[in-house]
Structure 1
């Protein structure tokens, strides 16, 4: 039954699994174990190449490690290559203050991409199912998402150098649990899935049962809704780009200006998507607090009879109307260049309020660190150390890479907000060689060296 439904779903999407090379993300739970078992059963028939990737997020100590060993043992029995990573997500959360689910997802997907690159495989198979789809769509609509975000989980989407695909979106969680039982699979159960502190779990336990009581095939209708939204969005996005190209007056890294008069001639559905395109371009990473309500406010500013006005959007983005022009730009905070020098042990406080400390140490085995640090052999660094703001043309020789890289590109890759780049500390030695971008990138000069016993320790307190 499951095999037939999956085959029909894949056929509906014109997706052929034959001869595919894929990484399978497996947690050890019912959904991913059902997926692994299903794909494993297709290996010979469809000449699949499979490698399993598992991430221990280290939230549950020995219990989560046992999940990893469970998946590993299954793979050994089935002669399937197995890769795992233990990533200390609680520590990442402590350092970055990220939401636990966001931090976990980023760690997990980062590892999946590494394994895809390692094996040269261009597909990642994940076990999301129809119930997940219903929950996701409801959560996003409740949160105020707009456009393609309302479509929930796509069957196929670009990822890294390949694609993610989800063959189980036509199935329910109950069907997967039944499949596990019939195949004598005894998956691991993560107790956090039952906690009501997560909004998804509340939708799962309180909303989904009501919908299923009304219609046991509700997941099929939500999947159809998802696909309709995605198809509509592809066309609408193409039309939006065409029309917005005619109303754009100016576009820079941190500023976009449009002409209001031709913008008002654009159909309203494309107006909303045009504003969203601008926000996607400027933010790089969309703030969680940004919602459809903000787009409504921008449209109100455009349609208002008053010739001028401003809006404050999340993360310092300003929308400014001046007669027939509307500008989106990050709030400009004047940043003055600075430069401080340290010829020996000491501490410097920077204009941003962060601090840099220099220590000279002889015993690298027993030094204590209470901040972000970099360690340099004294024979590779010429004092004094200079802590300064960035300069045009600055380049660093990144650790683990050959050649140099522009600081501008590193800031972009690291998603450092535009307004922070001119105040970010750049640390150089007497020769002007960039040693370290605290919190972002270390140079080739950093690290242990057996030819010396004395080191310069730089610590960054943000």
Structure 2
């Protein structure tokens, strides 16, 4: 239990203002923890003068630390400065402090809600290092990142380019199109089909019906097929010419993590004849396909 009182609160607030630093709370909290020990401060609503009056009326002896009146330390200087204020000025100062704390609390609640979002808008982030730290922790990143690392993320988030930042061995931070998202390491996937079987392969299904863009016309010379995730450099021949799959996605602002999950069908000659979301290439498009690759 601590005997801090209202005058101490005012002194702390004035010192915080002079330091011009962003803090999580102005003044002194009624409860707190230090080294795992709970600290309670029940006298913060009373001034020193009021507490002396209570002691005198109750016949309780009290001590006076004369060193508190010597301007040797910043707190002592602040204490002497506050003695020159009227009660009205002190009241205004206290209300100013409470108003700041109310705004901090409102911002904290708002940040907690934002930090729960699966994706974080760079605009919502507003270069807020603490919000970035909270958001990363809510998405599995329990490690303590250095402030310099968080500042680097904030700096790179201003870029219009797609940015990937490694967080650990399994996850990265993806920043693109004004948003950021924690993504897991993409696993390689590849399966060979020597013939067509209509069944569920886990990552995809081969069906006898589906959407137009899922349709694929095959000929015996295409086999064996390789169905895999797209890789850098993959391209597909469309009606208007060959198109990089990555460029096709960029033109449509498809996020990088979704691009990595695109499946392609490769024939025995290594030609990509189908890509999920894009459809079949120009030589394997047919009005009435019998094979549909459903992701």
TM range (shorter): 0.3 to 0.5
TM-score normalised per structure 1: 0.28
More helix by share: 1
Bigger Rg, which one: 2
TM-score (norm 2): 0.42
